[in-house]
């Protein structure tokens, strides 16, 4: 034992000694000229520089066309690389500007490890500090494993080709998407989708979290970004996934240096892609509106794909996927559970099933019974800080409200297309959401504008029909604001009312609301049919909407 320690100590000193010697000899052999920075750029512009090796150290290493090696101060600015590349100068990136120093550090780490008598501890610790840990395997999962809306999946499928065969696009001069921003509530499958993209393209997957880049020491984040891209390039490309990009990509706050440097490093790396790089950066955020606009610009994260909460049918599919390997008793109805779990994310559904399985195991059962599910559901609804599941009443009122907008739109604005109707809140709207696409027009008639007010107030009018004047909810705040805007513009700008503009605005608003009420009163059956379909399915597309609206009567 004692002998072993002695041996290790001797070995450690030998390693350090050797490294010092190498460093000293290198220092003697090369004493390169130092170009001042302005001189360096003059030479670069004049074509006198052949290659530059960028590092994180004090100097850049420069090779002139005459074959001389020189140094120039590292400005630590982010646009240097692009400028050099534009001048046709070969740019390489050094891991560390002083290889001798690196050697010394490594030797130190090795010696430390030897002294501690553990082969790995010291070196592993050092590596952890220097770089973000990423696994770089090709995921097995594909888009079939992720349950998402057709729009989301289409947006993702669209990207596979660029990763698989960038050449086919480059040949036609098509600019490949560089960055993709997935946005939506937590636990909706954004990470899964990014992994599945790599899986489909048979490309390695590199995952990091925005938080990994935010460090106490300025500059560490930026160097981690560069390191990450270097790794991806070395692997011949892949999907780089940055979860919680908010940590570095939030709208400018109080001039945080570290965050800014990291962000700049990221943008520089992304603008350095060529059309033939098989690299795609996928970032995820819960809220698109908090992300710095600079990040979302053309040529950066310019593809935005929403990953929303699942609707009833999608929840059922998710429940099926996650019960594949769980024995579920016959008395358990997954469709019923799907219907009761409005506003649950995929991750919450998965957690609910897991909780139910734990409860079943605890009572020594062979199968998950209805009681286990019910208890897990109550625990999920009570113990979660996220919004509680939507109650059946809330869902019914929201469905009725959205159906009101749709019925008025269909009757009074027949040229509008109603593409989408949902009771699931999305980052685009409040409790429910109606997407109607209006035709482009330069001029609007008074009749059309009244119809627009009626369209906006159709939700409130439908609520009133269902619940009476005292039963209407606060869900119509946005609608009311829109209706008021149109009414006051009609009265004040376009002189479409009578008498005092304020009074006239109010009268116009009344006129619009009356039109909505009259319209719904005549179409009670269509309204009820649509509301019922919406309550059940939670999301309806154009065909289903028209079917409900145009049924008998």
Q: Which of 61, 81, 178, 190 binds ligand ADP (CB under 6 A)?
A: 190
Torsion of CA 372, 377, 382, 384, to 10 degrees: 110
Q: Of 402, 464, 535, 538, which is the active-site residue?
A: 402
Cβ proximity to ligand ADP: between 347 and 467 the closer is 347
x-or-dash pattern for ligand ADP, window 305-324, by CB under 6 A? -------------x--x---
Cβ proximity to ligand ADP: between 318 and 399 the closer is 318
Contact range with ligand ADP by CB under 6 A, out of 184-192, 234-242, 391-399, 464-472 = 184-192
Smallest gap from residue 371 Cβ to ligand ADP (A): 24
Report CA torsion sign: 358, 364, 366, 367: negative
Q: Tell me the C-alpha distance between 282 and 304, whole Å.
A: 10
Cβ proximity to ligand ADP: between 94 and 244 the closer is 244
Say whether residue 146 binds ligand ADP (CB under 6 A).
Answer: yes
Report CA torsion sign: 224, 228, 233, 235: positive
x-or-dash pattern for ligand ADP, window 333-352, by CB under 6 A? -------------xx--x--
Cβ proximity to ligand ADP: between 194 and 540 the closer is 194
Q: Which residues in 101-140 contact ligand ADP (CB under 6 A)?
A: none
Say whether residue 147 binds ligand ADP (CB under 6 A).
Answer: yes
Smallest gap from residue 192 Cβ to ligand ADP (A): 4
Say whether residue 223 binds ligand ADP (CB under 6 A).
Answer: no
Sheet holding 539-541, edge to edge: 433-437, 417-422, 539-541
Say whether residue 192 binds ligand ADP (CB under 6 A).
Answer: yes
Q: Which of 44, 49, 148, 406 binds ligand ADP (CB under 6 A)?
A: 148
Axis-axis angle for helices 524-537, 446-467 (nearest 10):
70
DSSP for 117-185?
T-SSHHHHHHHHHHS-----PPP---GGGS---HHHHHHHHHHHHHHH-HHHHHTTTPPPP-EEEEESS
Cβ proximity to ligand ADP: between 191 and 409 the closer is 191
In sequence order, the 6+-apart residues with CB closer than 8 A to the CB of 502 are 491
Neighbouring C-alpha atoms within 13 Å toward the C-beta of 116: 12
Say whether residue 152 binds ligand ADP (CB under 6 A).
Answer: no
Among this protein's residues, is 66 annotated catalytic?
no
Q: Which of 121, 186, 236, 471 binds ligand ADP (CB under 6 A)?
A: 186
Any idea what DSSP says for residue 469? G
Q: Tell me the C-alpha distance between 243 and 157, whole Å.
A: 20
Q: What are the counts of helices (DSSP H) followed by strands (DSSP E) for the chain?
A: 23, 13
Q: Which residues in 269-298 contact ligand ADP (CB under 6 A)?
A: 284
Cβ proximity to ligand ADP: between 191 and 488 the closer is 191
Q: Which residues in 71-100 contact ligand ADP (CB under 6 A)?
A: none
Any idea what DSSP says for residue 306? E
Confirm if 492 and 449 have CB atoms less than 8 A apart: no
Could you tell me where the DSSP H helices lie in 235-343? 246-249, 257-271, 293-296, 312-323, 334-340
Smallest gap from residue 195 Cβ to ligand ADP (A): 8
Cβ proximity to ligand ADP: between 124 and 211 the closer is 211
Q: Which residues would be at the binding site for ligand ADP (CB under 6 A)? A: 146-148, 186-192, 284, 318, 321, 346-347, 350
Active site residues: 402
């Amino acid at each position: 034992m004692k002998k072993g320690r002695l041996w290790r100590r001797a070995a450690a000193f030998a390693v350090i000694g050797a490294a010092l010697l190498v460093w000293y000899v290198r220092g003697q052999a090369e004493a390169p000229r130092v170009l001042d920075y302005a001189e360096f750029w003059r030479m670069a512009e004049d074509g006198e520089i052949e290659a530059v090796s960028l590092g994180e150290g004090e100097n850049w290493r420069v090779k002139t066309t005459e074959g001389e090696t020189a140094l120039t101060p590292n400005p630590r600015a982010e646009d240097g690389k692009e400028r050099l590349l534009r001048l046709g100068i070969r740019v390489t990136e050094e891991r560390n500007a002083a290889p001798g120093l690196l050697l010394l550090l490594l030797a130190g780490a090795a010696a430390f490890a030897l002294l501690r008598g553990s082969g790995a501890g010291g070196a592993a610790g050092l590596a952890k500090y220097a770089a973000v840990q990423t696994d770089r395997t090709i995921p097995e999962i594909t888009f079939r494993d992720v349950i998402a809306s057709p729009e989301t999946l289409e947006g993702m499928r669209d990207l596979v080709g660029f990763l698989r065969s960038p050449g086919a696009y480059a040949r036609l001069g098509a600019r490949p998407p560089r960055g993709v921003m997935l946005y939506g509530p937590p636990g909706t499958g954004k990470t899964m989708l990014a992994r599945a993209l790599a899986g489909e393209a048979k490309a390695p997957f590199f995952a990091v979290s925005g938080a990994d880049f935010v460090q106490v020491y300025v500059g560490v984040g930026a160097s981690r970004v560069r390191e990450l891209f270097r790794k991806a390039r070395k692997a011949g490309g892949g999907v780089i996934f940055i979860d919680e990009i908010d940590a570095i990509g939030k709208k400018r706050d109080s001039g945080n240096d570290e965050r800014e440097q990291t962000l700049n490093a990221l943008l520089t790396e992304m603008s350095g892609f060529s059309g033939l790089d098989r690299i795609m950066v996928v970032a995820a955020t819960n809220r698109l509106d908090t992300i710095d606009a600079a990040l979302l610009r053309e040529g950066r994260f310019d593809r935005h794909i929403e990953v929303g909460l699942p609707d009833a049918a999608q929840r059922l599919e998710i429940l099926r996927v996650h019960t594949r390997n769980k024995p579920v008793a016959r008395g358990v109805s997954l469709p019923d559970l799907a219907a009761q779990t409005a506003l649950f994310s995929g991750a919450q559904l998965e957690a609910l099933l897991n909780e139910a399985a734990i409860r079943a195991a605890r009572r020594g059962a062979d199968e998950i019974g209805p009681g286990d599910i019910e208890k897990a559901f109550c625990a999920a609804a009570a113990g979660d800080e996220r919004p509680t599941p939507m109650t059946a009443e809330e869902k019914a009122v929201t469905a009725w409200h959205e159906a009101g907008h749709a019925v008025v739109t269909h009757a009074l604005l027949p040229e509008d297309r109603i593409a989408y109707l949902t009771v699931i809140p999305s980052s685009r709207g409040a409790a429910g959401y109606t997407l109607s696409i209006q035709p482009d027009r330069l001029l609007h008639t008074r009749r059309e504008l009244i119809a627009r007010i009626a369209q906006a107030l159709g939700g409130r009018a439908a609520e009133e029909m269902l619940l009476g004047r005292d039963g209407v909810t606060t869900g119509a705040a946005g609608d009311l604001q829109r209706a008021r805007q149109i009414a006051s513009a009609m009265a004040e700008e376009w002189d479409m009312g009578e008498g005092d503009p304020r009074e006239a605005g109010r009268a116009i608003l009344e006129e619009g609301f009356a039109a909505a009420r009259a319209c719904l009163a005549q179409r009670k059956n269509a309204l009820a049919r649509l509301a019922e379909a919406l309550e059940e399915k939670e999301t309806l597309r154009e065909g289903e909407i028209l079917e409900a609206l145009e049924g008998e009567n």
